[in-house]
Amino acid sequence: MRTVLILASLVALTALAAGAYWWRSAPHALPTRLVCLSGPTSSGAHAGMVWIPAGTFEMGDDVYPEEGPRHRETAAGFWMDRTEVTNAEFEAFVDATHYVTTAERPGKEGAAVFVMPSGDDGLGDVSKWWRYVPGANWRHPGGPHTSIEGRDHFPVVALTYEDIQAYAKWKGRELPTEAEWEWAARGGASRMPDHEQPKDANTWQGVFPIIDTGEDGFAGVAPVGCFKANAYGLYDMIGNVWEWTADEYRDHTPKARVIKGGSYLCAPNYCMRYRAGARQPEEDDLATSHVGFRTILRASDRAAAP
């Protein structure tokens, strides 16, 4: 009997050790968090928003040519969504208005989706990791086989500029200009922060586009508000998903807007755009799996100053 017990204990210990080894060595054994931030802290017109005070700053940066030249800009005070707009928030809009997004309309069904290439042959070739996927839309951001079930708190993606304008209008809000967005992202910092990959943001660790080690806790998009807020209380201004602004990207055909902040796909070896001063064009009618948005309410819109 004693021998049996000893043998059983040994088997159990071996199984535990093997389990621990597997857990530590499995490449994507990351905690799957579906919620990081619960609901708005206030109600009414400013629910879920924070006040961004007026200020003057030196806009732009000098890592990539499109970021310069640096110049002085002034922003008036405004309220801003403290997180990227979520699937649940967008769903409330669709439920109320029966709005059909661009990527769901007949003849246009589909969106651009990031697909991790299987080998290193895709390095340097954008077409190897961006695919136009029929059936991809905000409800199925990775394609028809994917869903937002259980992902209420994730940022809504795969929307065009027309779609986000419709949402903002329904909320009685507006979209930020590039200057307003950049001013808010700096969190009042008078000097441009350094160019290092940020630690408090969902970006990409490893060799883009083939190895995302997820050291920041997420290989892929994260629920909103998982990383430390900036000095104004804004979450994920840098990283997670890019964010639309209202400004046209000059001299771009077809017509495009400026997007800001970088995304979970930004890595030092490919796209160091996890900075407030970074920018990129996004075509107005392109729905993409790594671009989201947030809205603002200007002090001039209503009696909105704090």
Site for Ca ion in 169-208 (CB under 5 A): 202
From 21-29, 95-103, 211-219, 280-288, span contacting Ca ion (CB under 5 A): 211-219
Q: How far is the CB of 214 from Ca ion (least distance, A)?
A: 5
Asked if 240 is part of the footprint of Ca ion (rule: CB under 5 A), the reply reads yes
Under 8 Å between Cβ of 96 and 83? no
Q: How far is the CB of 216 from Ca ion (least distance, A)?
A: 4
From 15-23, 24-32, 146-154, 217-225, span contacting Ca ion (CB under 5 A): 217-225
Which of 287, 288, 283, 279 has its CA nearest to residue 255?
283
Contacting residue, 61, 104, 236, 247, with Ca ion by CB under 5 A: 236
Asked if 81 is part of the footprint of Ca ion (rule: CB under 5 A), the reply reads no
Q: How far is the CB of 170 from Ca ion (least distance, A)?
A: 21
Residue type (1 letter), 17: A
- The Cα–Cα gap between 40 and 49 comes to 8
- The Cα–Cα gap between 277 and 201 comes to 15
Q: How far is the CB of 201 from Ca ion (least distance, A)?
A: 8
180 vs 236, beta carbon nearer Ca ion:
236
90 vs 264, beta carbon nearer Ca ion:
264
Asked if 218 is part of the footprint of Ca ion (rule: CB under 5 A), the reply reads yes
What tokens does 209 get? 């586009």
Q: How far is the CB of 24 from Ca ion (least distance, A)?
A: 19
Q: How far is the CB of 176 from Ca ion (least distance, A)?
A: 12
Pairing outcome for strands 130-133 and 242-248: unpaired
C-alpha distances (whole Å) from 15 to each of 4, 23, 27, 124, 231 are: 17, 12, 20, 43, 47
Residue count at the site for Ca ion (CB under 5 A)? 7
For residues 102 to 121, the per-residue mask of contacts with Ca ion, x marking binding by CB under 5 A and - elsewhere, is: --------------------
Chain center to CA of 119: 26
- The Cα–Cα gap between 291 and 164 comes to 11
Q: How far is the CB of 251 from Ca ion (least distance, A)?
A: 25
Identify the burial level of 64 via C-beta atoms within 10 angstroms of its C-beta, where 0-12 means exposed, 13-18 middle and 19 or more buried.
middle
- The Cα–Cα gap between 219 and 212 comes to 6
Asked if 93 is part of the footprint of Ca ion (rule: CB under 5 A), the reply reads no
- The Cα–Cα gap between 260 and 119 comes to 29
3-state secondary structure of 271: coil
Contacting residue, 104, 180, 216, 284, with Ca ion by CB under 5 A: 216
From 13-21, 41-49, 232-240, 269-277, span contacting Ca ion (CB under 5 A): 232-240
229 vs 305, beta carbon nearer Ca ion:
229
104 vs 236, beta carbon nearer Ca ion:
236
For residues 260 to 299, the per-residue mask of contacts with Ca ion, x marking binding by CB under 5 A and - elsewhere, is: -x--x-----------------------------------
Instruction: Please provide the DSSP assignment of 116-158 as one string.
Output: --SSGGGTT-GGGTEEEETT-BTTBTT-TT---TT-TTSBP-S
What tokens does 86 get? 């979520």
Q: How far is the CB of 161 from Ca ion (least distance, A)?
A: 17
Q: How far is the CB of 187 from Ca ion (least distance, A)?
A: 14
Q: Which residues bind Ca ion (CB under 5 A)?
A: 202, 216, 218, 236, 240, 261, 264
